[in-house]
Structure 1
Amino acid sequence: MMPMVELNNLSVTYKTKQRHVTAVDRVSLTIDERDSIGIVGESGSGKSTLAMAILRLLPEQAAEVTGEVQFNGTDLLSLNESELARLRWTELAVVFQKSMSALSPVHRIGVQMSDIYRMHETKVSKREARSRMVALLHMVNLPERVYDLYPHELSGGMMQRVAIALSLMHQPKLLILDEATTALDVVTQGQILDEMLELERKLGITRIMITHDMSVVASACNKVAVMYAGRIVETGLVKQVLTHPLHPYTQGLLRSIPSFTGEKENVRGIPGSIPDLALLPTGCIFASRCDHAVELCRQVNPDETLFQQGHRVACHLVGGELAHAH
């Protein structure tokens, strides 16, 4: 079976007169149909840039994108604007982080939803559009009255549900959520994630979830890709990576999360900060913050090592010649 999404050596470089910043560096990733993958990492790791590159939403004059983004066998980077416009909303959709500011504050929710819908469904009447939008609101557990409300009359959780309803308008094959539940309280976040999982089962959607929250990935994703300073350092099934993390960065991320059960341990952050992406090192990108780094780590960028069930790690200390020294 052909994967739905294949990223092949995808790189994004932001260019200014003074410097070039490599925000995404040769990322390769495969996502199967109806799969759900969480892309996690610290702020500044390049997660949102990766999502915007897949959707071709980066400004061409400021960002150079190279590599391939294969979507059902079509390279999205090679399409012209009209070809891409036909895929957006209908095949590809996104839910952004700041849903509270996603809609116009001076127009009612339903009017805006219907206008967006009728841009693609030009022969649909206003009455038919309203009926379709109300059904979408019900799908995300919102009452019909929301159709006639203004954005400021909704809570953050309700606005997030509206944003999700908008993304599902044309039943897209691929849905990208970029920190879509970050601004919500834990209870509302849990409710929306449960609703998303149920919708995905009903509609057969494939999902990419961008987040810095490991608990979101643990509860709502099948696979995980750990991203650091523009590179993917570890990928695999959630149950593999979160229970047996192999890369030192993944281990550090998990140590920084407080546990509600089990032994009470000191919660520790990872010392240091993400390197300057305009001055990338020749070796492992994480070497300057890694407690186990040796000279080889600082000089040579590690290749990926494949373990069982697709668990991949890019680290000299795991699976390579230095594995026994770890």
Structure 2
Amino acid sequence: MPILQVKNLNVTYQTKNKQITAVNKVNFSINEQDSIGIVGESGSGKSTLAMAILRLLPNRIATVEGEVYLNGKDFLKLSDEELTKKRWKEIAVVFQKAMNALSPVHKIGSQMVDIFQIHDKQLSKKEIKNRMIDLLEMVNLPPRVYNLYPFELSGGMLQRVSIAISLMHNPKLLILDEATTALDVVTQGQILENIMELEKNFNTTRMMITHDMSVVASSCKKVVVMYGGHILESGLVKDVLKNPKHPYTKGLLESLPSFTGEKNNIRGIPGSLPDLSSPMKGCVFANRCEHVMDICREKLPSEVALPGEHKISCHLIGGELDD
């Protein structure tokens, strides 16, 4: 049974003058001890998807419809009391900007103790401190970090603190929203190694939001490609990245330089994201697709299952896009 099932999830933002559909009929699932990367350019709906799953979107501006099953229970229908019990223990999150997620006027240890005690008041402060120091050491931080303020730490150290906090109650599902984007390549690689090692130790399932294909290729088993609030392609990383079928996925990969083998010509994808406040009958990528046909502008493509777990939503199916 999947640990997370997302069914027909829609997220609509309400502004003064219009409605913006940021996530549109999204369906996917994650199995236990899996790792899945949600990729796409900025504005594709990746972070909105994560925030909707976590129920962190404010009701006054966002309407969330659909079903999100966490361990078989619809997460969107839980009461506030039930939701508080689920967070951190069953599902946790690491945000992109760790400095914004931590209080600048409280020491790291004080914040860790406060967060822990909200969900578990049985342990003494000394026992909690020992446990938090163990977690800090697991993400390669020295014990002295416990007594430091956030401004005394580097960006990479702050992200490690956030990861340690997210793991304090051993959650079954960990969501990382652009958690390594602002870091240099070396630090990013170290943190990804930490995360994958911790997954083995904690038996954690990971959902990673990123626009970096290399992060997905090196640290995830599965990938979901989003664009304009829609899922265009999904499957095992080895299938999707080595043999992409959707023009958008191909475009993303062609925009990356090759560090091995023959040199490749880097190509960008012309155009920009569509106006998500305007109703669209056809494919959301039609205006930027070099393979566009009349049907693409008139009819939304259905999801088609390819061999293995590979799925694509495109009117060009199978070998038509193969070179």
Fold shared per TM-score above 0.5: yes
Alignment partner, residue 294 of structure 1: 293
Alignment partner, residue 123 of structure 2: 124
Please give the root-mean-square deviation of Cα atoms over the aligned residues, in Å.
1.3
Supply the distance in 2 between the matched residues of 1:74 and 1:165 (Cα, whole angstroms): 26
Q: 3-state SS of the aligned residue for 1:239? A: helix
Q: 3-state SS of the aligned residue for 2:272? A: coil
Q: Is the 8 A contact 1:108 1:150 kept in 2?
A: yes
Supply the distance in 2 between the matched residues of 1:62 and 1:85 (Cα, whole angstroms): 22
Q: Is the 8 A contact 2:38 2:223 kept in 1?
A: yes
How far did residue 325 of structure 1 move? 11
Q: Structure 1 unaligned runs (5+)?
A: none
Supply the distance in 1 between the matched residues of 2:99 and 2:78 (Cα, whole angstroms): 31
- Code of the residue aligned with 1:63 in structure 2: it is A
Query: Residues 286 and 139 from structure 1, CA distance in 2 versus in 1: closer, same or farther, beyond 3 angstroms?
Result: same
- Code of the residue aligned with 1:277 in structure 2: it is L
Q: 3-state SS of the aligned residue for 2:2? A: coil
How far did residue 264 of structure 1 move? 1.6
Q: Deviations over 1:252-278 (max 9, x none)?
A: 000000111222222111000000000
Alignment partner, residue 178 of structure 1: 177
Q: 3-state SS of the aligned residue for 1:192? A: helix
Alignment partner, residue 109 of structure 2: 110
- Code of the residue aligned with 2:71 in structure 1: it is N
Q: 3-state SS of the aligned residue for 1:128? A: helix
Alignment partner, residue 241 of structure 1: 240
The runs of at least 4 aligned residues of structure 1 exceeding 2 Å deviation read 323-326
- Code of the residue aligned with 1:223 in structure 2: it is K
Supply the distance in 2 between the matched residues of 1:183 and 1:18 (Cα, whole angstroms): 34
Q: 3-state SS of the aligned residue for 2:256? A: coil
Supply the distance in 2 between the matched residues of 1:132 and 1:244 (Cα, whole angstroms): 45
Supply the distance in 1 between the matched residues of 2:45 and 2:322 (Cα, whole angstroms): 31
- Code of the residue aligned with 1:239 in structure 2: it is K
Alignment partner, residue 34 of structure 1: 33
Alignment partner, residue 196 of structure 1: 195
Supply the distance in 2 between the matched residues of 1:24 and 1:299 (Cα, whole angstroms): 20
- Code of the residue aligned with 2:131 in structure 1: it is R
How far did residue 324 of structure 1 move? 8.6
Q: Structure 2 unaligned runs (5+)?
A: none
Q: 3-state SS of the aligned residue for 1:187? A: helix
Supply the distance in 2 between the matched residues of 1:220 and 1:77 (Cα, whole angstroms): 29
Q: 3-state SS of the aligned residue for 1:284? A: coil
Supply the distance in 2 between the matched residues of 1:299 and 1:215 (Cα, whole angstroms): 34
Q: 3-state SS of the aligned residue for 1:61? A: coil
Supply the distance in 2 between the matched residues of 1:23 and 1:64 (Cα, whole angstroms): 10
Supply the distance in 1 between the matched residues of 2:67 and 2:120 (Cα, whole angstroms): 30
Q: Is the 8 A contact 2:245 2:318 kept in 1?
A: no
Query: Residues 94 and 325 from structure 1, CA distance in 2 versus in 1: closer, same or farther, beyond 3 angstroms?
Result: closer
For 1:151-300, list aligned pairs within 5 A.
151-300=150-299
Supply the distance in 2 between the matched residues of 1:325 and 1:291 (Cα, whole angstroms): 14
Supply the distance in 2 between the matched residues of 1:234 and 1:324 (Cα, whole angstroms): 14
Q: Is the 8 A contact 2:20 2:277 kept in 1?
A: yes
- Code of the residue aligned with 2:8 in structure 1: it is N
Task: Tell me the percent identity.
Answer: 63
- Code of the residue aligned with 1:138 in structure 2: it is E
Q: Deviations over 1:230-258 (max 9, x none)?
A: 00000000000000000000000000001
- Code of the residue aligned with 2:209 in structure 1: it is I
**Alignment size in residue pairs:** 323
Alignment partner, residue 134 of structure 2: 135
Supply the distance in 1 between the matched residues of 2:179 and 2:149 (Cα, whole angstroms): 21
Larger deviation: 11-20 or 98-107?
98-107
